[in-house]
Amino acid sequence: MFRRPALGNTWGMPSTAPYRPPRKQGTAFRFIVVVMVPLLRLLMKRDWRGGEHIPKTGGVVIAANHLSHVDALAFGHFVYGNGRIPRFLAKSGVFKNTIVGGVLRAAKQIPVYRDTADAANALRDAIAAVAAGEAVTVYPEGTITRDPDLWPMTAAKSGAARIALATGCPVIPVAQWGPQEILGYTEKRPHLLPRKRMIMLAGPPVDLDDLRALPVDAETVRLATERIMDAITELLAKVRGEQPPAVRYTLDETRKQGNEIGKQALGKQQLGTQQLGTQGDEIGKQVDTA
């Protein structure tokens, strides 16, 4: 069962980070801002640190941990409040709605078509966006963490590393903590009151300089991705005032647990069938001798 850990009390006083949204936003993104920002201010307390690490101009990848269905709102608000328009790599399903999809496309959000022939287009579009000076926001884990204590998992996606190696742009790690208080992964009803504190901590660019001169092969991408996840995890440990696990959780562990549960359920079903068959044989014997 999912546990909603309480926010640590070692973080200190609330932030006094200035709120500096980008001046040029475009009509579609401005529409999103007008609708969403008042709602976010109403539902989420802002506790932001490290915004000075987010470059005010130029292409950049901003990578964060993923722990709730609502954390994209907190993450996007943080990036926006620090002067950049976030360009999310978002699942293609959210673009299927005519109105919502139209607004997202007009706002230059990037659809990800997983397990299709168009899957590579998201990486291509993200590289083009960064090359054009945009801020692309990504979740290297690829999905909400399944770690029981909500630590970042092993990265399932290498997009952040590939974009950085292809463009030479900086990668800014971000740790977020608090969105899970509103809506945990397994929960269906949000906890809106009292208003929850959204802690966002950005760190300095991940050091990838020695990798940029190497061929962009699987090993180079793996090393870059590991460094990005290490930086995010280190920031989250600072926010929580706790030590992260020595080995990051993987989705394979979740699959193994699911398979084990399935085997146990199947075993119980087979046992029940065998017991029923034994009872049937016994009744049959009694009928034959009656």
Q: Which of the residue ranges 21-25, 85-89, 99-103 would you say has the lowest mean pLDDT?
A: 99-103
pTM of this prediction? 0.82
Contacts of 2 (CB under 8 A, 6+ apart): 184, 185, 186, 187
Same domain, 288 and 202: no
**Strands, DSSP E only, in the chain?**
44-49, 60-64, 86-91, 110-112, 135-138, 171-177, 196-202
Give the model confidence (pLDDT) of 138-185 as tens digits. 999 989 999 999 999 999 899 999 999 999 999 999 999 999 999 999
Q: What is the CATH number of the domain that holds 85?
A: 3.40.1130.10
- The Cα–Cα gap between 234 and 175 comes to 8
Q: Are strands 171-177 and 60-64 parallel, antiparallel or unpaired?
A: parallel
Structural domain contains residue 15 = no
Q: How many domains does the chain have?
A: 2
* 65 domain-assigned: yes
Q: Are residues 220 and 285 in the same domain?
A: no
What pLDDT does 25 receive? 87
Distance between CA 245 and CA 209 in Å, rounded?
27
Are residues 75 and 104 located together in one domain of the fold?
A: yes
Least confident of 38-52, 173-187, 240-254: 240-254
Note whether 46 and 142 are same-domain residues: yes
Q: Are strands 196-202 and 171-177 parallel, antiparallel or unpaired?
A: antiparallel
For residue 5, what pLDDT is reported?
A: 47
- Nearest C-alpha neighbor of 26 from the set 98, 123, 134: 134
**pLDDT for the residue 48:** 96
* pLDDT tops 50 at residue 31: yes
- Judge whether 206 lies within some domain: yes
Where does a domain end: 198, 214, 240?
Answer: 240
Same domain, 32 and 87: yes
Cβ neighbours, 10 Å, residue 70 = 21
Q: Is the distance from CB of 172 to CB of 205 less than 8 angstroms? A: yes
The residue range of the domain holding 217 is 27-240
pLDDT at 241: 96
- Find the helix or strand (DSSP H, E) in which 269 lies: helix 251-289
